[in-house]
């Protein structure tokens, strides 16, 4: 049962057109733009409370201006300046736990000069969304996760939103900033060109190998700024601790010294607060934007990622009545990183507003911290809580409708007055909020008194906590019709992909296996644990599939020699697979556990570099014998080959020295000294330029040779190598350049597995020319193999479904200034190096053919030539022939033609199935506890696999390589 070729081509094209449409339509429903209340909050906005006798703003006589120029608020503010110190990835145990390097900070906690908290950072735990939460008090959109990696993006700016920084500027205050340039993107200059910060100096957050300069560039400004009195807020954002976590994990050798360095900065600031008169009322806030997991990464909801430290410090706190804190201490029982009171990061905003006499930012979902209310006496404390409640009430009204909400709340207050307000408990979120606010109105209407004030405070906190929880949960409303439309489009793409298959019946072993993989993968997407540990799905299915191939190949081999070769190929595949899956530990449960890269290479770095050097030598040999074969004279071939390998190797050595010096130590010191005058950007550009020029030259020379313009016919016959294979070795060199040094030896395994897989997929050799024109490889078998191995190598190179596993270290190779296209290409190629490599291997597997003659016949006919060379030349000649036939001959005439078409159709079916399953899981589980920590990141990865790997790499780049087979 087979459809006409034109219909199948149209169906396949339409399927791949529908895939990006499905992705974008679903994304607009799943990640809607999060609206916010415009403008800046004013005290007047929270002045009058309906149904109550108390009117905020009655007392205090209006705003006052402090010494530094900032508005003090209705009454005298506790602080008129703030030093806001963000230490990226400052996990709570780094500050509060045993063995911490924050010795001075812990002494402040013990003395009562600092009040500690464990903050809760909601996923995604990356910098931009967390900075938004710390400044606006709101719950950022999950879309900010993507924008976090786009340095050129300005759509995520906070210039139009209310923040505590904007409140300082609105009161004629000024702010200085030093550190992560994410802040400069979030707070850009005004349209008139007026800078947001009075003084600033930004540092890039993405070159994660820099542990030192990125922090020194911040610290060098601190002493001078502390001596000045012309600012009301100084924002410092240190990156070094986060970079150390990414490179060596939370237990790395550089972690404790970095903690001590940060503790020294805190000591410098605190001593200035005690020593300078203008800092007598300065507040120090120490905050981590997020934490880190056991592997040193972040982005998800793993242990430690969501639990950074938050601390307020000032000599003023010593006079406040409060409980004493032990420090260092242990986390609360049953937890790993929960120290002291656990609060939301958004709670920082009303706390700062209260202490500095500012209105609470309009979109804040924060609640005034009870531990800080000791700074104010009874009536003032109630007044601050009422301000906080009225500000949150604006958000609640915007959600549920103001007039109706107020009317129902007043009705509930009257019912309480009459004694029947508690007859029936509230059911939905809105009704709970109505009852909560009605209770506040009830106590507001009561006579003032100590007992009533306490009951009012309790009612206010109940309403605040309920409003915070409810509004945080509904911060991202889903557009269900759009999500369903996206799933329908993905379903249509799947139907068209199935229609494009050359034959639906009878199903073979490969077809049934491929279908089973698609179905199992789709079902797996509905379980959060399986999504987090997806690597095991591929790690286990790959050996099963290889075993099937071994059994099938042994059945088709008629002689013992072929059978032994089959067994050897299978053993090589299975052994190299086992080695690869132990290379990098990934996933969530076992992140940070020992593996080859982290347990062996740091102790035996010479072994690692010997393997790396062997890999480059192997690649150089292939470039010399295959890429340049027959195209250049031997002298030029040797020069070009050596230039390519030396430039790439030197760059890899120097980059690793900067990126992970513990893996280089004293190795090749003279070579590093010789290349030191050239920056890493120049070295990377030299390597990339040489690869590009070589690739262009090979294409031109190979096409000339194919058209008979390269010289003698005999010479051309001796070097009959397909252009696709020539370029594949240059692609390997590029991908090795984009791969972290410890993962480079995996390319040895890749080349070995490709050769072994090619033998297992080949059919029985025949001396018949008619049989020799049949494809050597089943396209569905090739698709199944490449699908399994592509995903296996994505995970064994360190990838996962957590945002924290994205490797940024090679995204800026050769890039001096931010370029979204270049950085995007380099970022994708570094994180998907294995799957990209297997795409080029798939082209070679789909075009290979058996030799016309058997080995003995060939050896007899070509006495003066090695049988391996003869067989190889035959394979390459037939590869060109089949590619031409695939383009010239209709599939109906030759059911085996168009192997690449079948491969693309199979991959399209899998991508459509997986995309539909992920969309369905996100829709069905949209209220699941892990929707933003597991399923949403998985959707982003599904987007990258479908658009990046499938459409760009398989359909685009792979089809281009396949077409080159018919040219040369």
Query: CATH code at 367?
Result: 3.40.720.10
DSSP annotation of 420 reads: -
Instruction: Give Cα separations from 768 to 448, 772, 863 (angstroms).
Output: 104, 6, 21
**Residue 199 backbone phi and psi in degrees, to 5:** -140, 145
Residues ≥6 apart with Cβ < 8 Å to 113: 270, 313, 314, 315, 317, 318
Cα–Cα distance for residue pair 783/514, rounded to 1 Å = 8
Cα–Cα distance for residue pair 348/133, rounded to 1 Å = 9
Determine the 3-state secondary structure of 537 from DSSP. Answer: helix
Q: Which helix (H) or strand (E) holds 748?
A: helix 746-761
Q: Which helix (H) or strand (E) holds 307?
A: none
Which of these three, 868, 897, 926, is where a domain ends?
A: 897
pLDDT at 271: 94
Which of these three, 897, 932, 963, is where a domain ends?
A: 897
Asked whether residue 916 is domain-assigned, the answer is no
Which of these three, 375, 406, 435, is where a domain ends?
A: 375
Asked whether residue 141 is domain-assigned, the answer is yes
pLDDT at 721: 81
Cα–Cα distance for residue pair 305/804, rounded to 1 Å = 9
Instruction: Please tell me the total number of residues recorded for the chain in this structure.
Output: 968
pTM above 0.85, yes or no: no
pLDDT at 26: 94
**HSE-up (13 A, CA, CB side) for residue 82:** 30
Instruction: Give Cα separations from 243 to 102, 255, 698 (angstroms).
Output: 18, 10, 40
Asked whether residue 566 is domain-assigned, the answer is yes
pLDDT at 651: 94
pLDDT at 3: 65
Beta-strand runs (E) in 299-349 = 309-313, 341-344
pLDDT at 514: 93
Exposure string over 852-885, b if 16+ CB within 10 A, otherwise e? bbbbeebbeeeeeeebeebbebbbbbbbbbbbeb
DSSP annotation of 598 reads: I
Instruction: Give every strand in the sheet of 309-313, ordered side by side.
Output: 199-203, 175-180, 233-238, 81-87, 282-287, 309-313, 114-120, 341-344
Asked whether residue 477 is domain-assigned, the answer is no
* Residue whose structure tokens are 């809607």: 32
Q: Which residues of the chain have pLDDT under 50?
A: 1, 48-75, 150-155, 475, 710-719, 764-775, 850-865, 867-868, 885-897
Q: Which helix (H) or strand (E) holds 203?
A: strand 199-203
Domain assignment of residue 275, given as a range: 77-375
Asked whether residue 594 is domain-assigned, the answer is yes
Asked whether residue 911 is domain-assigned, the answer is no
**Residue 601 backbone phi and psi in degrees, to 5:** -65, -40
**Measured distance between the N- and C-terminal CA atoms of the chain, rounded to whole angstroms:** 34
Neighbours of 225 (CB within 10 A): 17
**HSE-up (13 A, CA, CB side) for residue 849:** 30
Determine the 3-state secondary structure of 467 from DSSP. Answer: helix
**Residue 291 backbone phi and psi in degrees, to 5:** -105, -145
Asked whether residue 546 is domain-assigned, the answer is yes
**HSE-up (13 A, CA, CB side) for residue 659:** 22
Structure tokens at 60: 């205090």
- Bridge partner residues of 118 (DSSP): 309, 342
Asked whether residue 920 is domain-assigned, the answer is no
Cα–Cα distance for residue pair 529/540, rounded to 1 Å = 16
Structure tokens at 901: 């078409």
pLDDT at 505: 53
pLDDT at 141: 64
Domain count of the chain? 2
């Amino acid at each position: 049962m087979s459809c006409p070729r034109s219909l199948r081509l149209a169906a396949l094209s339409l399927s791949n057109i529908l895939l990006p449409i499905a992705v974008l339509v679903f994304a607009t429903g799943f990640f809607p733009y999060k609206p916010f209340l415009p403008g800046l909050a004013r005290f007047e906005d929270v002045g009058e409370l309906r149904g109550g006798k108390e009117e905020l703003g009655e007392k205090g006589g209006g705003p006052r201006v402090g010494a530094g120029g900032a508005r003090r608020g209705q009454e005298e503010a506790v602080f008129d300046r703030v030093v806001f110190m963000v230490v990226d990835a400052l996990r709570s145990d780094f500050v509060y736990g045993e063995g911490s390097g924050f010795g001075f900070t812990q002494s402040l906690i013990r003395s009562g000069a600092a009040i500690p908290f464990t903050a809760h950072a909601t996923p995604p735990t990356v910098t931009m969304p967390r900075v938004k939460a710390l400044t606006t008090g709101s719950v950022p959109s999950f879309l900010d996760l993507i924008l976090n990696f786009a340095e050129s993006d300005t759509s995520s700016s906070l210039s139009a939103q209310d923040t505590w920084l904007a409140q300082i500027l609105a009161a004629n205050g000024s702010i200085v900033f030093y550190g992560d340039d994410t802040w400069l993107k979030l707070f850009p200059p005004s349209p008139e060109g007026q800078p947001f910060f009075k003084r600033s100096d930004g540092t890039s957050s993405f070159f994660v190998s820099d542990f030192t300069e990125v922090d020194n560039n911040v610290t060098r400004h601190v002493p001078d700024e502390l001596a000045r009195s012309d600012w009301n807020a100084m924002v410092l954002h240190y990156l070094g601790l986060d970079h150390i976590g990414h490179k060596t994990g939370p237990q790395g050798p550089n972690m404790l010294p970095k903690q001590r360095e940060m503790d020294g900065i805190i000591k410098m600031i605190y001593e200035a607060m005690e020593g300078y008169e203008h800092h007598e009322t300065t507040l120090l806030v120490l905050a981590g934007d997020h934490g880190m997991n056991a592997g040193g990464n972040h982005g998800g909801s793993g242990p430690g990622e969501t639990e950074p430290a938050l601390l307020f410090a000032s000599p003023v706190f010593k006079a406040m009545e409060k409980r004493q804190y032990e420090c260092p201490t242990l986390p609360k029982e049953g937890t790993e990183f929960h120290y002291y009171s656990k609060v939301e990061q958004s709670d920082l905003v009303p706390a700062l507003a209260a202490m500095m006499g500012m209105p609470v930012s309009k979109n804040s979902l924060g609640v005034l911290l009870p531990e800080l209310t000791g700074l104010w006496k009874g009536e003032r404390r109630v007044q601050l809580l009422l301000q906080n409640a009225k500000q949150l009430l604006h958000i609640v009204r915007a959600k549920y409708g103001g007039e109706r909400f107020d009317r129902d709340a007043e009705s509930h207050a009257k019912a309480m007055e009459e004694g029947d307000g508690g007859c029936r408990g509230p059911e939905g979120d809105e009704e709970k909020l109505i009852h909560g606010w009605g209770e506040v109105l009830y106590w507001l209407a009561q006579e003032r008194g100590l007992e009533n004030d306490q009951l009012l405070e309790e009612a206010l906190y109940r309403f605040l906590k309920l409003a915070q929880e409810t509004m945080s949960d509904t911060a991202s409303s889903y557009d269900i019709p759009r999500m369903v439309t996206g799933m329908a489009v993905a379903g249509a793409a799947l139907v068209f992909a199935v229609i494009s298959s050359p034959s639906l019946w009878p199903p073979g072993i490969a077809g049934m296996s491929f279908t089973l993989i698609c179905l199992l993968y789709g079902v797996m997407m509905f379980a959060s644990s399986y999504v987090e540990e997806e690597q095991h799905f591929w790690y286990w299915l790959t050996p099963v599939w290889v075993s099937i191939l071994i059994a099938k190949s042994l059945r088709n081999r008629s002689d013992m020699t072929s059978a032994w070769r089959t067994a050897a190929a299978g053993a090589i595949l299975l052994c190299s697979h086992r080695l690869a899956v132990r290379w990098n530990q990934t996933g969530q449960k076992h992140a940070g556990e020992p593996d080859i890269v982290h347990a062996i290479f740091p102790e035996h770095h010479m072994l690692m570099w010997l393997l790396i050097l062997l890999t480059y030598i192997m690649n150089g040999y292939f470039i010399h014998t295959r890429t340049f074969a027959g195209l250049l004279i031997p002298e030029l071939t040797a020069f070009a080959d050596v230039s390519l390998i030396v430039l790439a190797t030197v760059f890899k050595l120097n980059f690793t020295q900067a990126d992970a010096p513990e893996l280089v130590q004293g190795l090749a010191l003279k070579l590093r000294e010789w290349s030191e005058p050239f920056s890493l950007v120049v070295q990377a550009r030299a390597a990339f330029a040489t690869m590009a020029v070589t690739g262009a030259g090979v294409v031109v020379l190979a096409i000339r040779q194919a058209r008979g313009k390269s010289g003698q016919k005999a010479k051309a016959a001796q070097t009959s190598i397909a252009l696709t294979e020539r370029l594949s070795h240059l692609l390997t060199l590029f991908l090795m350049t984009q791969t972290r040094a410890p993962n480079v030896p995996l390319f040895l395994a890749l080349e070995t597995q490709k050769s072994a897989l090619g033998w297992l997929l080949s059919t029985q050799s025949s001396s018949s020319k008619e049989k020799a024109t049949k494809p050597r490889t089943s396209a569905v078998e090739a698709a199944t193999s490449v699908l399994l191995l592509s995903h296996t190598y994505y995970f064994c190179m360190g990838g996962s479904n957590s945002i924290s596993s994205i490797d940024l270290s090679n995204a800026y190779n050769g890039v001096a200034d931010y370029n979204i296209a270049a950085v995007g290409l380099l970022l994708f190629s570094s994180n998907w190096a294995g799957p990209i490599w297997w795409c080029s291997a798939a082209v070679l597997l789909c075009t290979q053919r058996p030799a016309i003659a058997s080995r003995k016949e060939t050896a007899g006919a070509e006495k003066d030539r090695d049988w391996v060379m003869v067989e190889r030349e035959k394979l390459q000649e037939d590869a060109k022939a089949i590619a031409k036939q695939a383009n010239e001959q209709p599939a109906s005439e030759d059911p085996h033609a168009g192997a690449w078409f079948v491969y693309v159709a199979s991959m399209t079916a899998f991508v459509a199935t997986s995309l539909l399953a992920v969309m369905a899981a996100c829709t069905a589980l949209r209220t699941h506890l892990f929707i933003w920590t597991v399923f949403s990141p998985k959707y982003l990865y599904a987007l990258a696999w479908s658009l990046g790997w499938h459409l760009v790499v398989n359909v685009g780049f792979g089809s281009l390589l396949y077409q080159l087979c018919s040219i040369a």
